Structure 1
Amino acid sequence: MGRAEERRARQRGGHRAAPKSRRSQAPASSPAATTAADATTAARSADGATVVGGRSAKAAKPPKGRIRRLFTWKKMLGTFLGTCLLGIAGFVALYMYVDVPQGNAVALQESNVYKFSDGTVLARVGKTNRESVDLAKVPTEVQHTFVAAENKSFYHDSGIDMRGLARGLFNTVTGRGTQGGSTITQQYVKNYYLNQDQTVSRKLREMVISLKVDRRLTKDEILAGYINTSYYGRNAYGIQAAAQAYYHTDASKLTVQRGAYLAALLQAPSQYDWTAATPLGRKLVEARWNYVLDNMVKQHWLDAGKRQGMSFMKDAKPKEPKGTPGEEGQKGYLVQLANQQLEDRLMKTQGMTRSQAEAAVVERGWTITLNIDKKKQAALEKAVKSQLTSKLNPKKRKVDGNIQAGAASVDPKTGKIVALYGGQDYFKHWISNATRRDYQPASTFKPVILAAALEQNATTQTGKPITADTIYDGTSGRQVLDHGSKVGFGPPNEDHVDYGPITVQKAMNQSVNSVFAQMGVDVGMTKVMDTAKKLGMDTEGMQAVPAQTLGSMGASPLEMAGIYATFANHGNKVTPSILKSAEQKNNSVDIPGAIGGPVISRTAADSVTSVLTGVVDDGTASENVAGNSLRDGRQVAGKTGTSDSNKSAWFTGYTPDLVTSVGLFGEDRKSQAHVSMMGATGLLKYPGRVNGGTYPAMIWAAYTFGVAGDAKFDLNTTQGAGVEPTQTPTFSQKPSQTPSNTPSSAPPSSSAPPSRSPSQSPSQSPSQSPSQTPTGTPSTGLPTGGTPEDPLNPDGGPDSGQ
């Protein structure tokens, strides 16, 4: 074989062999060549692979592919360096192009106009409260509180935080929420030179201007500009206005403790305003206050020993607000909720933080039209006054000074908040009782348990479907069972009344705690809380435990109105909205619809509505709702609720076209602690207890029957008081013994509906005759009148349940 032929043979074998040295090559006719050829042939026949030069083609390296030739390390490095050069060139060009604009912080201050749904003006808010002060007049320790709170590296940085800026740009481009990590210089630039818009172009301008401002101004000048242009809540812009608004003093007289509070406010001014804050808001701002002071110690700006002796309540608790003209009466509560919902919308659509959103809304020239119906708002205020506040006399009865009322009214078909009652006067009580979530909704939560049971097609411990006709054991204090084992929870009924065998319908009518505690375990408390969340309850941090069946969590009248509006709207989610439109010069905010898709089935929702008509016609609300002379045949569904120790009382009810939740709360005027309402207005009935069936139901009826139409419920269900019974009641559990059908003590007069004769047993529904024989008997729990161990009620007093 010649050299050319040998070379072609090697190429056919899979690759081009490296040339051999002349010394190792032998003539084709030599014995060495013949031996090599024979060895190659033997190797090929042994494993089926072509062997070239003693190596198999299987082990040969494949030729470089097109991708490998394209992405060589040299080309990749060149591309990276080119990109960097282009980026640097672009930044240089941007730096040369963008100038520092004229400051516009004062020019941006403009009154907001708030309107009723019909376009008439509700309020005009926006008298600018601003006064700049020289930094030299602000104590050095107070200056340091702002640096410790917002930007510890302020005195050493170049004016920007590259990592925070990159994160903000990425979040803006990808729509992943709010930006964090801005320096004090960047925040000053936003406040004074730019605006709060969250766009890529605005962020790039912010970066360049911050760099230039840091070069042109001293750190003290930047800090002075920052604390004089920031928004602190209470319509206060700048540290001097904030010192006056929160402590009624000048900025020059602020202590480090008070300065730390003002610095902490900047993260979320309205949420952290101590006077109007929720319990959670108070915890957060106090934690923020501690964070600021601890950072000052780390930076050696505050002595550690001095820090140890500081107390928020003693040294930094702010004073009552003075109030802004235009927000008196109910107006302030309406403006507050409108601002909050607009801020929430800006945070969601433009990626703002809470503080940025507040600064973008308050006094920025918005025209905000609310869904509030002027006539319904007036009617609600009138109902509260005629049925409650006109009867309160704090001089005669101390408890009367502790009564707070809140209410929210929602159109279930549109989700519009048509009326709201936040308290007697925004200037006298800054916390809105319509939106506060620190009181228990009590038995108004029971319909949620039933909704979960119906939605999940849940069964009792013995496998019987849970329906309006299912019979449970209504023994007070009966220990809840989970397939034979006790779960350590046995809530008493109101006044420890034993109802014996009782249908779910009747248990809802009379608000029997023991029945719904067992039902919650039968359904599964996780499923109950999941249903509550779907219906609109904020369940974050709530434990799925049997005690929640008593409505022991916190909720607001507005929250409960939304949940019941979802029932009224056949299971379609209703998220109550006060905003109709929000416009600002050439800018408008898209307001989403308040009605969503189904979160529970129509059958489940309509069945709950049907059952709740029985509460009105033959239950705890019968006296002051069903028996109200203004009812005029209107169909009504609803539920009463009264919390432990009578600290709150509720009635949440609805007609087909209007849902309203009314709550009464016992609040100490000075400490704002939750207190009992027993004996308020000199009430001697029930005895002295402010039940949900008393003043809350009276306010609800006076308002609703004056403004609601006469529409009829369109129910897709075969269950509940709203329809004729279609099945024989079934027992929930096999009995261990037969209890008496007569309660051990007479029920309170408030729970005896007019339609029941004195001889009728509480265990019988209106559709049952006394002689009707159940198909079984329920099991009994604790002895009659026994006091169970209740982790939420250690003193043994019963949760009212009504």
Structure 2
Amino acid sequence: MGRAEDRRARQRGGRRAAPTRSSTATTASSAQEPVTVVGGRAAARRAAQGRGRSKGKAGKDGRSFIRRMFTWKKIVGTIFGLCLLGMGAFIALYMMIGIPKGNADATLQSNVYKYSDGSLMTRDGQRNREIVDLAKVPKDVQRTFVAAENKSFYKDNGVDLRGTARGLLNTLSGKGAQGGSTITQQYVKNYYLTQNQTVSRKLKELVISLKLDRTKSKDYILAGYINTSYYGRGAYGIQAAAQAYYREDAQKLSVSQGAYLAALLQAPNQYDWAIATDTGRKLVKARWNYVLDNMVEEGWLDKAERADMKFPTPEAPKAAPGMGGQTGYLVDAANNQLAKQLVAQGTADNINDAENLVKAGGWTITLNIDKKKQTALEKAAKSQLTSKLDAKKRTVDADVQAGAVSVNPKNGAVVAMYGGQDYYKHFRNNATRTDYQPASTFKPVILAAALDEDAKTQTGQAIAANTIYDGTSKRPVVDHGTKVGFAPQNEDDADYGDINVQTAMNKSVNSVFAQMGVDVGMDKVLKVGSSLGMDTGDLKAVPAQTLGTMGASPLQMAGVYATLDNHGRKVTPTILKSVENSRHQVTLPKPIGDQVVSREAADTVTSVLTGVVDDGTAKVSVRDNGQRDGRKVAGKTGTSDENRSAWFTGYTPDLVTSVGLFGESKKNGAQVSMYHAGGFDRVNGGGFPAQIWAAYTFGVSATGLKFDLDTTQGAAVQPTYTPTPTRSPSGTPSKTPTSEPPTSQSPSQSPSQTPTQTPTQTPTQTPTQTPSGSPTTGGVENPLDPNNRQQQ
């Protein structure tokens, strides 16, 4: 065969026809010429593969099936199909969804507020909003909002696809709201839709935003956004906000002021300078800087001009129209509680959205406020405090603020609230503020913890009403022989020597309760305080907390004492009685909860607190009040360090009321002392606060009721016989108790005045429990003597 034929054979895959020869010739030639294998090397490989298939057929069949099912062509095809399906669905949505009219939440509606009996309290129907043309807002001020919320606003198509996708995923996974929405999307949410975080709402927001961006100008959208947004202080829209924060029209705002208003939109209440915490102020300053820096980055603000800008501190807030007197305080308290409940039940994702839902209107809110009791509390505050203050005679009188809350311990209803002299004059609610110390009104919490935990003294004696402690002023607190570095001074540096717990409560002896706190364990004390209703979560468990150095409000303290009055079952004060809205269902939580301290512990504290009224720091204002009419009363006074706050929280079987006085500078809102206010050297808890409490309580609480106490401890209503407190001129604690009767003092007088009453009974038996220290030789009366105990 020639070369050409060989070449053609190789091109056909090596297949060559064998020459026609005889077998002999073939055999002979085979030794001289190689035989061409039919199929060549490829055929050989296939043959080898064929031989191997039989060895691993089972394993290879499975892999082959997977390869056939998940080929790259099928995967790409599936993804492409899903994309087409999604695009088709979106196109369908785009065709179906149009730009709607403004929704119900964007229309003007009233909130109606009622007293507990259903009578009208007020209507919050005039929305504090004035629409202004964008042309009246300086261009640079307009840009502050763009810099704060959506730098690409003038360039984008109205949506942030990545932010929207993230929001959808978080909504589906239950992670809540996420940022990333454009100004257009936020305007669509505020004006056309609702604040509800649902997948359908987010999809509608996306479609409407795209259409709105195509049909309306950027100026139209920006104007709608800044005119409909909520800025806090009841202000909707930039014009109302400019007036509320800077007393200026929107057209006169500076760039730095505009940057603050733009920063506010992220968290209006948290960032309101007048009521913001230190953290809130830091956050809003940081966001203010962020807005201005973004403007420099975008070329909208000169860098040198930016460097010279100072933070524009807003003016003090003014109340919204129609909220004068106590009404504004009551409405704000109700709105705040409603907003928190909307978040708790999942109607809103955060407090900002919840507040927007409340402010949108359409709510009928019935408060627990009893009209008669509310009027009585206002009259008591006026007659016992504000009418006696005269800022023209004493400048300090202008710095005295009062707050009070009255609670029914059986159902938790806030039946009366006093937030300040006038909502127009003092925007902040003194009844709910938590920035002042409750002082000695915290001492019953320490005793409750000791009794509930069955705590013992350092010598192993059970802590009870008759347990003896050293009442020496500045006595170092010890923990099993080791000084803990805390030696509190008693009021007026008075030394009491060895006294029992009952007397220490009556006289509010700091040294006794500081030691008791360590005996119980400060971590346990704070835990019980939290269970009773105080905010002690972030406090350090140190002995100094026994002086009531944490912050608390009259609302919180009323809840703590209401729980004691309710035999240890948790009472959470609530101002809301019922809430109605055509679009939202609200389920109010039950104000009466579980047993948080034992009944015996709670009732014993109540029994001990009757001694404060009948033989302690509240006897002049409460026990000797001519309007008492035999009412059974328990309570505790408190006066904080440097006389910055003074308290009386007390209760009858049917009513608990906490009254606090706070020194607040009229000039800058800082905490100041109240020395010489009202013409007295010092404002004590047994003075103005107890007088307000008595004037109110004895006018509205029921008579003839008795405390149903499960206890064998406490002074009940009989005075105890205690040593005379002494003061050493050198400041050295006096260790020697005297046998003279104790002095009693008016809250405004020094402790040298002779008491108006003396004990008429003497002890008839020894204590049934062994005291934890050596009893005083001054004849301490046994509080367990049945002859000294009256029915409660």
The TM-score bracket by the shorter chain reads: 0.7 to 0.9
Match of 1:681 among 655, 678, 682: 678
Question: Secondary structure of 1:749's match?
Answer: coil
Q: Distance in 1 between matches of 2:244 and 2:655?
A: 39
Give the match's secondary structure for 1:196. Answer: coil
Mapped contact 2:97–2:207 kept (Cα < 8 A): yes
Q: How many angstroms does 1:502 deviate by?
A: 1.8
Pair 1:538-2:535 in alignment:
yes
Contact map agreement 1:615 1:638 (CA 8 A) in 2: yes
Q: 1:202 to 1:465 in 2, by over 3 A?
A: same
Provide the rounded CA distance (Å) in 2 between the counterparts of 1:743 and 1:178.
69
Aligned equivalents of 1:744 and 1:81: distance in 2? 97
Partner of 2:693: 700
Shift of 1:768: 8.4
Of the three residues 498, 515, 518, the one matched with 2:515 is 518
1:334 match: 330
Letter in 2 for 1:112: N
AA matched with 1:742: T
Where in structure 2 are the equivalents of 1:314-393 lying within 5 Å?
A: 315-321=312-318, 323-348=319-344, 349-393=346-390
Q: Which residue in the other structure is 1:139 paired with?
A: 138
1:655–1:708 Cα contact (<8 Å) kept: yes
Partner residue, 2:408: 411
Question: Which residue does the alignment assign to 1:462?
Answer: 459
Which consecutive residues of structure 1, in runs of 5 or more, have no partner in the other structure? Answer: 1-18, 26-51, 726-736, 781-802
1:172–1:351: 8 Å Cα contact kept in structure 2? no
Distance 1:743 1:83 in 2: 94
Matches of 1:743 and 1:205, distance apart in 2: 83
Deviation (angstroms), 1:151:
3.0
1:691 partner amino acid: N
Match of 1:7 in 2: none
Whether 1:219 aligns to 2:249 is no
Preserved contact between residue 179 and residue 352 of structure 1 (Cα < 8 Å): no
Matched, 1:234 2:227: no
Deviation at 1:378, TM superposition (A): 0.5
Q: Distance in 2 between matches of 1:370 and 1:377?
A: 12
Mapping of residues 193-592 of structure 1, within 5 Å: 193-277=192-276, 281-312=280-311, 315-321=312-318, 323-348=319-344, 349-585=346-582, 587-592=584-589
Q: CA deviation at 1:459?
A: 2.4
Whether contact under 8 Å (1:622, 1:754) holds in the other structure is no
Please say which of residues 190-199 and 366-375 is displaced more in the overlay. 190-199
Change (3 A) 1:80 1:478: farther
Shift in Å at residue 84 of structure 1?
A: 5.0
* Letter in structure 2 aligned against 1:108: T
What's the secondary structure of 2:268's corresponding residue? coil
Secondary structure at the residue paired with 1:573?
A: strand
Given that 2:131 and 2:227 are in contact with CA atoms closer than 8 Å, whether structure 1 keeps it comes out as yes
Q: For 1:680 and 1:534, locate their aligned partners in 2 and report how far apart those are by CA, in whole Å.
A: 35
Give per-residue Cα distances to partners, 1:543-568, cap 9 Å, x unaligned: 22221111111111111111111222
Q: For residues 526 and 664 of structure 2, what CA distance do their matches in structure 1 show? A: 28
Q: Displacement, 1:173?
A: 4.8
For CA contacts below 8 A with separation 6 or more, give which structure has more relative contact order.
1
Give 1 or 2 for the bigger CA radius of gyration. Answer: 2
1:776 to partner: Cα distance: 6.1
- Change in Cα spacing, 1:384 to 1:487, as seen in structure 2 (3 Å) is same
Query: How far does residue 120 in structure 1 lie from its aligned partner after superposition?
Result: 0.8
**Contact preservation (8 Å) 1:178, 1:347:** no
CA distance in 1, matches of 2:369, 2:772: 52
Which consecutive residues of structure 2, in runs of 5 or more, have no partner in the other structure? Answer: 1-45, 720-732, 777-792
Partners of 1:386 and 1:769 in 2: CA distance: 45
Q: CA deviation at 1:102?
A: 2.1
1:502 match: secondary structure: strand
Alignment of 1:150 onto 2:149? yes
Change (3 A) 1:372 1:512: same
**1:328–1:458 distance in 2 versus 1, CA, 3 Å:** same
Q: How many residues align?
A: 710
In 2 relative to 1, CA 639–84 (structure 1 residues): closer, same or farther, beyond 3 Å? farther
* Alignment check: 8 A CA contact 1:277 1:431 kept: no
Equivalence map 1:609-758=2 (5 Å): 609-683=606-680, 688-710=681-703, 711-722=705-716, 739-742=735-738, 749-750=745-746
Q: Partner of 1:39 in structure 2?
A: none
Of 448-457 and 543-552, deviating more is 448-457
Q: Distance in 1 between matches of 2:399 and 2:50?
A: 112
Q: Which residue of 1 aligns with 2:41?
A: none
Residues 643 and 88 of structure 1: CA distance in aligned 2, closer, same or farther (over 3 Å): same
SS in structure 2 at match of 1:420:
strand
What amino acid sits opposite 2:138 in the alignment?
A: P
Give, as a single letter, the amino acid of the residue that structure 2 aligns with 1:330. Q
TM-score normalized by the length of structure 2: 0.81
**Shift in alpha-carbon separation, 1:284–1:501, aligned structure 2, 3 A:** farther
Identity of aligned residues (%): 63
Q: State the distance in 2 between where 1:595 and 1:80 align.
A: 56
The match for 1:729 is none
* 2:110 is the alignment partner of 1:111: yes
2:242, 2:755 → 1: CA distance? 62
Moved more, 565-574 or 365-374: 565-574
The equivalent residue for 2:787 is none
* Alpha-carbon distance between aligned partners in 1 of 2:198 and 2:746, rounded to the nearest angstrom: 60
Decide whether aligned partners of structure 1 residues 168 and 350 sit closer, same or farther in structure 2, where only a CA change above 3 A counts. farther
Give 3-state SS (helix, strand or coil) of 2:668's partner: coil
Q: 1:108 to 1:518 in 2, by over 3 A?
A: same
Instruction: Measure the CA separation in 1 of the matches of 2:437 and 2:49.
Output: 99
**C-alpha deviation, 1:584, in angstroms:** 2.6
CA shift, 1:301, in A, is 3.9
How far apart, in 2, do the equivalents of 1:137 and 1:264 lie? 20
Once residues 135 and 424 of structure 2 are traced to their aligned partners in structure 1, the CA distance between those partners, rounded to angstroms, is: 34
Are the aligned partners of 1:125 and 1:324 in contact in 2 as well (CA < 8 Å)? no
Equivalent AA in structure 1 for residue 563 of structure 2: T
Aligned to 1:92: 91
SS in 1 for 2:158: coil
Change in 2 beyond 3 A, CA 1:370/1:79: farther
CA distance in 2, matches of 1:96, 1:252: 40
1:422 and 1:432 in contact (8 A); partners too? yes
Q: How far off is 1:745 after superposition?
A: 13
Mapped partners of 2:492, 2:544: distance in 1:
18
Deviation at 1:330, TM superposition (A): 0.5
1:236 aligned counterpart, secondary structure: coil
2:708 partner amino acid: D
Question: Contact (CA 8 Å) 2:129, 2:240: kept in 1 or not?
Answer: yes
Q: Deviations over 1:540-598 (max 9, x none)?
A: 44322221111111111111111111222222222211112222335442222222222
1:175 is displaced (CA, Å) by 5.1
Q: Mean Cα displacement is larger for which, 239-248 or 327-336?
A: 239-248
Judging changes above 3 Å, is the alpha-carbon distance between structure 1 residues 492 and 211 closer, same or farther for their aligned structure 2 residues?
same
Residues 749-758 or 292-301, more deviating? 749-758
Q: 2:472 touches 2:734 (CA, 8 Å); kept in 1?
A: no
Amino acid at match of 2:130: E
Once the two structures are overlaid, the 10-residue window that deviates more, 345-354 or 268-277, is: 268-277
Deviation at 1:211?
Answer: 2.5
Contact 1:380 1:420 in 2 (8 A): yes
What displacement does 1:530 show? 2.1
Tell whether the 8 Å contact from 1:718 to 1:724 is kept in structure 2 after alignment: no
Contact 2:100–2:192 under 8 Å retained in 1: yes
